[in-house]
Amino acid sequence: MHIIIPDDYQNVVPTLACFSKLSGHTVTVFNDTVKELDALVERLYPADALVLIRERTRITAPLLERLPNLKLISQTGKGIAHIDAAACTRHGVLICTGGGDPVAPAELTWALILAAMRHLPQEVAHLRARGWQHTVGRVLRGRTLGIFGYGKIGALVAGYGQAFGMNVIVWGREGTLARGRAAGYAAAPDRQTFFAQADVLSLHLQLNSETRGHVTATDLALMKPDALLVNTSRAELIAPGALAAALQAGRPGFAAVDVYEEEPILAANHPLLVLDNAICTPHLGYVELDTYERYFSSAFDQLLAFAHGHPINVVNPQ
């Protein structure tokens, strides 16, 4: 098979131990992202199979119509919101997905919380500019951590908060509230109280038609002027433009984000990047060596199973 792997920004995939599984196949790796349809067609046309790195490239119906050789999409991770699954089925393209891994994104979430609460990026920059002790940070112990969406990642972050002596409250659908209560955490009495009480509020929702734009300007305006909002899930969970406007208005006072509506961001072209009260990282949540080995090993196993006529982890068996 001719296998194409787009969007390997760090040129790391060929260095992974699991890459040897593709021995005997033709593999092309691209280290940048293209979004224009004609450019994507030119790049992906030879592919019998694609290995997609999370949601970095969208697979649309117009694109699939112009990729007659494509038979398989092997997805790293389990999310397929960026893939038109119905169009894949119509064109006879099988989609196979691996599992998720909550540890790396949960740890990055906590790193962002610590960095924001103690103003670490600002202090590092000030020290390099020959200054000293520029800001006054805050501890986490005794403060309230709000977990919006108590799934695998949210549960880990809640546990970190408890270990740091925080009061953890949860909010979300009934399943979130039930799981949070079962783990011994308090459920907020209502959505307004949840946003108003949290000193640190971390989003851990899956993006779908119901959750797109789920966090509104009205929600953000309820937050404390010294509260921190953290988003390592998906940018589209927040209404367009609402977070930048809220930070400029002072509620919440701070944000730490790892995700953006359009990625990658190049030339610092995003409104959050010009705000002093926002810490921004380039979608690093799952970008970690052990996680990459697990994700790509699973994706390559899916390729090999398909090549041997016994596909696994199939999303669209019809």
Neighbouring CB atoms inside 10 A of 95's CB total: 24
In the chain, the amino acid numbered 291 is: T
Whole-angstrom distance, CA of residue 219 vs CA of residue 196:
8
* Angle at which helices 152-163 and 103-117 cross, to 10°: 40
> What are the start-end ranges of the H helices in the chain?
37-44, 61-64, 85-90, 103-117, 120-128, 152-163, 174-182, 191-197, 217-221, 242-249, 289-307
* Catalytic (active-site) positions: 234, 263, 283
Q: Is 163 exposed, middle or buried (0-12, 13-18, 19+ CB in 10 A)?
A: exposed
Closest CA to 171 of 121, 115, 215: 215
Q: Which strands form 200-203's sheet, in the order they lie side by side?
A: 186-187, 167-171, 144-148, 200-203, 228-231, 254-257, 278-280
CA dist list (Å): 257 to 9, 33, 122, 285: 19, 21, 16, 10
Peptide bond into 317 cis (omega under 30): no
Q: Is 35 exposed, middle or buried (0-12, 13-18, 19+ CB in 10 A)?
A: exposed
In the chain, the amino acid numbered 313 is: N
CB neighbour list of residue 105: distance below 8 Å, 6 or more residues apart: 153, 232, 285, 286
Residue 118 in tokens: 């103690």
Buried b (16+ CB within 10 A) or exposed e, 181-210: eeeebebbeeeeebbbbbbbbbbbbebeee
